[in-house]
Amino acid sequence: MAAKIMILNGPNLNFLGIREPHIYGSTTLGEIEASCQELAGTLGITISFHQSNLEGELVNLIQSAHGKADAIIMNPAAYSFTSIALIDALKIFEGPKIEVHISNIHARDELHRHSITSTASTAVICGLGPYGYIAAILAAVQKLGKLPDKIPASLHGLRAKV
């Protein structure tokens, strides 16, 4: 059965490519989605891709993933630093939850340095630019044990010793 991944994007990410290109680059959210869809096809998985400027809508999307998605990839954007509601919703979801940030938040100003939503995430990827979404998809599918055999062994990761 193919893995299903929900990709969520928070406020202002609909202005990628225009908003602060010196921080976020010139790639648009549409281009990121197209790249994610292309990788999904290669991996034989399905993704749903969403963006909302509304905290409650993102909470509803996370809740809707319960029992329907195997993993969530989320760029909470500004809500990373403020949203207890997103933390609580993410805690409900049992699959892998990978937080993505286009910029390296740890190298930014104090206001953008500490993600509170990461406390409810399985992993955090930051500073890789738009490629962070690709890395997150690969990581999520690997964590689910659903990387296809055609993918090089090195991308399957090291096996944990039990």
The catalytic residues are 24, 101
Q: How far apart are CA 126 and CA 113, in angstroms?
A: 11
Dihedral, CA of residue 102, residue 88, residue 140 and residue 58, to nearest 10: -60
3-state secondary structure of 47: strand
Q: How far apart are CA 82 and CA 34, in angstroms?
A: 29
